[in-house]
Chain A
Amino acid sequence: GEDVEQSLFLSVREGDSSVINCTYTDSSSTYLYWYKQEPGAGLQLLTYIFSNMDMKQDQRLTVLLNKKDKHLSLRIADTQTGDSAIYFCAGARGSQGNLIFGKGTKLSVKP
């Protein structure tokens, strides 16, 4: 299977919370990352979590990490239309820290 897996689509209403899930196979990554890609643009680092942490909160973003189950999630509180984008989770591999991305979850926010 893929190294990093994500569901492809998520649709929520404005003001609701969004939860984007990710599972991974390689547990050697010291950090795990969430990137956001808006249409026709490159990737922007949203947040990251150290592998020894269970949770990290940064304003509207909450990252949960379950190392036992190799499961990572990103919760966006009070989702806005501007949050509509593709969200990628990623781990780092190897001595050069090459990022390995999931296929991305397309978040659609309906007004």
Chain B
Amino acid sequence: GAVVSQHPSRVICKSGTSVKIECRSLDFQATTMFWYRQFPKKSLMLMATSNEGSKATYEQGVEKDKFLINHASLTLSTLTVTSAHPEDSSFYICSARAVAGGGGFYEQYFGPGTRLTVT
């Protein structure tokens, strides 16, 4: 099946620094990638949707200047958390989709997630 990797799997950084998380589709071309944030005991919160070669579409309430998303190629999207603060500590998950399926079928393949801890 389709594989999506994320790197790093876990990162600890100091408050005020920036952190970049990579999401790669390993065996397919991802025209659309999604970034989610997951809080303990809560659902996945969609942060933004990115299409290759165009600007990301951010969900309401997500600061685009803080969470920079770049979808530079069909196999790579990056999320940069700029000037990270402790409240940004969370589990970040990316997903990728090859093409919108016929008849409204949208299968997304998820990465294993990145645990960010800001101290």
Which residues of A does B touch, CB under 8 Å? Answer: 4, 8, 29-31, 35, 40-45, 48, 88, 92, 96-104
Which residues of B does A touch, CB under 8 Å? Answer: 4, 6, 32, 34, 41-44, 46, 49, 93, 95, 97, 100, 103-113, 115
**Contact assessment for A45 and B107 in the assembled complex, using a CB-CB cutoff below 8 Å:** yes
A49 to chain B, nearest CB (A): 11
A41 to B115, CA, bound (A): 10
A82 to chain B, nearest CB (A): 18
A62 to chain B, nearest CB (A): 20
Name A103's contact: one of B42, B100, B112 (CB within 8 Å). Answer: B42
**Contact assessment for B42 and A96 in the assembled complex, using a CB-CB cutoff below 8 Å:** no
Which A residues touch B108, using CB under 8 A? Answer: 45, 99
**Contact assessment for A101 and B44 in the assembled complex, using a CB-CB cutoff below 8 Å:** yes
Q: Is the interface of A mostly helix, strand, loop or mixed?
A: strand
**Contact assessment for A42 and B111 in the assembled complex, using a CB-CB cutoff below 8 Å:** yes
A99 to B59, CA, bound (A): 13
**Contact assessment for A42 and B110 in the assembled complex, using a CB-CB cutoff below 8 Å:** yes
Which A residues touch B97, using CB under 8 A? Answer: 97
> Whose C-beta in chain B lies nearest to the C-beta of A38?
B112
**Contact assessment for A104 and B43 in the assembled complex, using a CB-CB cutoff below 8 Å:** yes
Which A residues touch B104, using CB under 8 A? Answer: 29-31, 92, 97
Which A residues touch B107, using CB under 8 A? Answer: 45, 48
**Contact assessment for B49 and A42 in the assembled complex, using a CB-CB cutoff below 8 Å:** no
> Whose C-beta in chain B lies nearest to the C-beta of A5?
B43
Name A42's contact: one of B46, B106, B112 (CB within 8 Å). Answer: B112
Which B residues touch A42, using CB under 8 A? Answer: 4, 6, 93, 95, 110-113
**Contact assessment for B44 and A44 in the assembled complex, using a CB-CB cutoff below 8 Å:** no
> Whose C-beta in chain A lies nearest to the C-beta of B111?
A42
> Whose C-beta in chain B lies nearest to the C-beta of A9?
B41
**Contact assessment for B110 and A43 in the assembled complex, using a CB-CB cutoff below 8 Å:** yes
